Amino acid sequence: MPGGYLPIFIYLAIATAFVLVLLGVAKLLRASAPQPVKLEAYECGIEAASDSRGRYTVRYYIVAILFVIFDVETIFLYPFAVRYHALGWFGVAEVAVFIAILVVGYIWAYKKGAFEWV
User: What pLDDT is stored for residue 21 in this prediction?
Assistant: 98
**CATH for 13:** 1.20.58.1610
Domain carrying residue 62: 2-111
User: What pLDDT is stored for residue 57 in this prediction?
Assistant: 73
User: What pLDDT is stored for residue 28 in this prediction?
Assistant: 92
User: What pLDDT is stored for residue 77 in this prediction?
Assistant: 83
User: What pLDDT is stored for residue 15 in this prediction?
Assistant: 97
Q: What gap in Å lies between CA 91 and CA 80, rounded to an integer?
A: 7
Across-strand partners of 46? 43
State the total domains in the chain: 1
Stated pTM of the model: 0.46
Q: What type of residue is 58?
A: V
Spatial CA neighbour of 98 closest among 73, 65, 71: 73
Query: Residue 17 falls within a domain, yes or no?
Result: yes
Q: What is the mean pLDDT of each run of 10 residues along the chain (118 residues)?
A: 83 97 94 76 67 71 81 82 85 89 87 76
Q: With the CA atoms of 109, 110, 114 and 116 taken in that order, what torsion angle do they form, in degrees rounded to the nearest 10?
A: 170
